[in-house]
Amino acid sequence: DADVTQTPRNRITKTGKRIMLECSQTKGHDRMYWYRQDPGLGLQLIYYSFDVKDINKGEISDGYSVSRQAQAKFSLSLESAIPNQTALYFCATSDPRSPYNEQFFGPGTRLTVL
């Protein structure tokens, strides 16, 4: 089945470390997104990309960077992790040709920064 996958699923790291979260999709969608989920806050958009050459900041991009290596791959990096970046991170994709333009989510990466 066409799918959105994320690696790793769980990660524990220390303050100041650089970490990369990866997202791959087999849906053939051009648009990809990174969200962060904190308890009681819903999901917040970190970065989004409409194609390989188009990267845009979301509402909470500070402390994060992204790379769109190919249509199917979109990575999120924390250059110097801090404890308040402990959260659940989701990747999502969408196809702008869909009449609903709905987004499809990966299973998430649980990140803990000590």
Partner 1 sequence: GDSVTQMEGPVTLSEEAFLTINCTYTATGYPSLFWYVQYPGEGLQLLLKATKADDKGSNKGFEATYRKETTSFHLEKGSVQVSDSAVYFCALLTGTASKLTFGTGTRLQVTL
Residues in contact with partner 1 by the rule CB under 8 A: 4, 31, 33, 40-45, 48, 56, 58, 90, 92, 94, 96, 99-108
| Minimal distance, residue 35 CB to partner 1, in Å | 8
Q: Where are the beta strands (DSSP E) in the chain?
A: 4-7, 10-13, 19-25, 31-37, 43-51, 54-57, 65-70, 73-78, 87-94, 103-105, 109-113
Nearer to partner 1, 14 or 109 (CB): 109
| Minimal distance, residue 103 CB to partner 1, in Å | 6
Cα distances (angstroms) measured from residue 99 to each of 31, 33, 90, 94, 95: 15, 19, 23, 11, 9
Nearer to partner 1, 58 or 63 (CB): 58
Nearer to partner 1, 85 or 89 (CB): 89
| Minimal distance, residue 41 CB to partner 1, in Å | 6
